[in-house]
Amino acid sequence: MDKFDVYPGLSVTRGVKFVPRESSPMMGNGIPAQSEEARTSLIDGLGFFMFVSSAVALLVIVSFYLFMAQNPEQPAVNINLEAVRKKLSSLNTFQDAEKREFASIGRSFSYLLPTSFASLRTDPSKTVKLENYFIQVRFIADVIRKATNKPMQPGVLAKIIVNESAKHGYDPLFVSAVIMAESRFDKKAISSSGALGLMQLLPSTAKYIVGKIGNENWRGHRSLLSDEAYNIKLGVSYLKYLEDKFAGNKRNILVAYNWGPGNMNKALKGNAQIPGESKRYRDYILTNYSKWTKQLHQNRVALDSMQRAMVG
pLDDT digits (tens, 9 = 90+) for 238-267: 999 999 999 999 999 999 999 999 999 999
pLDDT at 38: 58
On whether the CB atoms of residues 6 and 102 are closer than 8 A, the answer is no
The distance from CA 177 to its chain's CA centroid, rounded to whole angstroms, is 22
- Domain spans of the chain? 2-122, 124-311
Query: Looking at the predicted structure, is the pLDDT value of residue 280 above 50?
Result: yes
Query: Looking at the predicted structure, is the pLDDT value of residue 99 above 60?
Result: no
In this structure, what DSSP letter does residue 26 have? B
- Within 208-262, strands assigned E span none
- Choosing from 164, 182, 228, 243, which is the catalytic residue? 182
Helix (H, G, I), strand (E, B) or coil at 273: coil
Predicted confidence band of residue 31 (pLDDT cuts 50, 70, 90)? very low
* Fold observed for domain 124-311: Lysozyme (1.10.530)
Summary mean pLDDT of the chain: 77
| Average pLDDT of the residues in 32-36 | 53
Convert 164-189 to b/e letters by CB count within 10 Å (16 or more is b): bbeeeebbbbbbbbbbbbbbebbbeb
> Could you confirm whether 216 is annotated as catalytic?
no
pTM of the model as a whole? 0.62
Query: Looking at the predicted structure, is the pLDDT value of residue 156 above 60?
Result: yes
